[in-house]
Structure 1
Amino acid sequence: MTGGQILILICVLGFPIWSVAASVIAWKQSRRRKAAETAVSAMEERYRPIVNEEAEVQRLREVANSVSLDISNLRASYSEKKAVFDRLAKEVAIFDEKLAFAEMGVYEPHFDYTDSEQYKQAVLENRETQKRMVSNKTAAVANTEWTVSGSKAKGQTMNNRNVKLALRAFNNECDAAVANVRWNNANAMEKRIVNARQQIDNLNATNDIRITDEYLRQKLIELQLTHEYREKLKAEREERAEMARAAREEQKFLRDMERAEEEEAKYQKLLDKAKTDASKAAADQIGAYNEKILMLEKDLADAHAKFERAQAMAEKTRSGYVYIISNIGSFGEEVVKIGLTRRLDPADRVRELGDASVPFVFDTHAIIYSDDAPALERALHNEFQKTRINAQNFRKEFFRVSIDQVEQAVTRLAPGAPFFKDVEAQEYRETLARRNAMLAAVEPPELVAFPAMI
């Protein structure tokens, strides 16, 4: 029913018009007021969380403070764990045998002894010095006098045992480093000894026991002396091997010359005797003696020629040495040179090839003696003909082939010949180390991918 219909009904029923109008107006106002109250209630309900501005600001501040605290804790935890990671990475690097030694730097010799005996004597003297330090209790010291159950004597006994344990642990680490030191990890082993001393001192910090600086220095000297002693022994062995090879070849040539000389003297003696007998022989025997003299003269000429060949054996015989060498610093990986030399010392040829014409010296994989060296060289060349680098000039005897393939060919063509697969390339790797050191001095490389902080 509409408002007009209600008004007509009221009039029909006899109510005063002014009263009716007032009632309608009051009714409408009541409806509007209720609608407004409903809308206000809905708005208050919708925006109830931010009605109290100060309360909302305080809540947001608390949230911000909580987030900021979480971030600070995360950063602190990250920094702490990254410090541990960096420390462990350095420690692992010292023990990582696969680590490129160039990252650890090039070892520089500390001593200049002329032969291995002097190095050996120096090592023995160093070890005697260490023994005296241990006996005099200057290798490790306990700076605090403890009492155990009120007894200083028991405290001293405890200190002595802890010092022995510290020295035993440190000596074991040093012995392991000395036993495994080589030319490409000497610096890493020095750091290993220094690191071992630091860790043992940290573990004994509560007991106030430490390894002395002088004992650490003596251990480092032992490591350096032992390493250089082994390098000197290696050089002396190579020198002795070369001298032995040269001596064997010289003796072989001398024996051949002596036998040829003896044979020539024998025929000369027989010829002289035949001529003497011919001068005394009867006329009917002259013909036989002349034939004998001609035969002896021929034999003498052959013996003389044999003697001359023996004198120039290195130049006139087919015997010689086939060498297989590589130079990764100059030519890269999987490139070998297969050549022949008749020199008394074939290593001279290898050293000559590694002179100023190439950046680095060659590594020798095999030097094979053969009575028919040209045939062996030709067989190896034919084996790798398809991999020859210079297919135009066959005097350039370089082939792009792996060391394993060359070893297999040598095993098949020259059974029993020694072959060395390792490519030391010492000069090349030390050059890389120096270059890396110079670059690091200008701009240190980023060792890990983690940022310094977050």
Structure 2
Amino acid sequence: MKGKWYLQTWFICLMFALWSFYLPVIIGLVLLYLQHKEQSALSAKYGEIDALDEKISNKMDEISLHEQTLAKLEEDKQEAIRVMEKEKQEKNSELQQVINNLNKEISVLQKEIDALNKEAVVASYQYSMYEGISSEECKNKLSLLKVKEKELLKNNNAVKVSSSETKKEINNNIKQMLRCFNAECDNILLGLSAKNIDSQRGKIQKSFETLNKIFSTDGIALTEELLQIKLEQLNLVYTFELKKEQEREQQKAIREQMIEEEKVRREIEREKQKIEKEEKQFKNEINKLMAYMQKSPSDAEKVLYIDKIKELENKLKQLENDKENILQREQNTRAGYVYVISNIGSFGENVYKIGMTRRLEPMERIKELGDASVPFPFDVHAMIFSEDAPALEAILHETFKKYEVNKVNNRKEFFKVPLSEIERVVKEHHNATVTFTLVAEAAEYRESLKLTA
């Protein structure tokens, strides 16, 4: 091990050699001084080292504290991650449950949709699809459907074939199947009525499905196109009968209108004759009184005759006014009364008939409507005179079209609507001074209720 130079062997030997000259003493003192100085420097260095060690220790403590904090944060982070993962799993579990439930609902709805799609072909009869055609057009459409059915059979599109049997066997099965289906459809058409149109459509669908099921073992099935033709034939046959009935109703309404017009003409004629007769009587009476007055010698009698003549002349003037009004009504074929009437005992609350009459005495028409065809007489809520009664009636009918009781035959003129709405439209389009009777008397109906209570 290498030591300091003054501790080397050669230096010690040299000092012994020079001992007699006192040089070693001087050198020793010098060495002691240098050693002391070196120790002082070392002490200072050690002090700095201790201070540095203390700083390092403090830094290490801080680092340790930071490490502990970081460890705690990491632990909290891991805990938060675990909580979040748990919540996520729970949420995923809940969402999966919701998804499963929704899938079940979708499955149920899909089955319902399939069922509805299956039944869509047998949807209830919709009159609105045939509203604008006549019975003759229905007849023509039926003829076209027959042609279409023949073409379908001719082109082999009425039956689907998936059989491996011989052509002869397949053709025999097809003929048998079509014969059965056509026979059943014909029988269903024979039993068709207004009450069973939808059930008859269902029977055709049922026949279609049953035959397809029976002949499935033979590898043949009726096509949807053939089914659609049969159902459309059913619709058109029913519509044809419905339209024929409507046309009969229209003819009946025209005849009734003609009868009504004739009644109006006769009524006007009778009123004219009555007025002319009264005019003639008044004129004759005036002439008589004039003659009596001229022959009378008494002034008092003459005054009485003059008063009587004036009275008759006033009546004659009133008759002339009435005659003028009747002549105007005769010339103006659109003048008349629009009436709003109800029959609670027959049709219930809030059902009103809105019609029109040109009668000079409109209540005669109301009495006719309340004849033996309904159990109770009608109550009048409004009797509105108009110079253009058909126009006012048309406005009311169009306004309340969606409230019609009979959607097929709008000539029945019955509407289920609040009376306040009818009053509002009348005052808006005709005259704000029209008076409405809001509460129906319905005397016979209310008395009947009392007797049955």
Larger radius of gyration: 2
Task: Give the structure with the higher percent helix.
Answer: 2
- Alignment TM class, shorter chain as reference: 0.3 to 0.5
Question: Under a length normalisation based on structure 2, what TM-score does the superposition of the two structures give?
Answer: 0.39
**Which structure ranks higher in relative contact order (CA pairs < 8 Å, sequence separation ≥ 6)?**
1
- Structure-1-length-normalised TM-score: 0.39
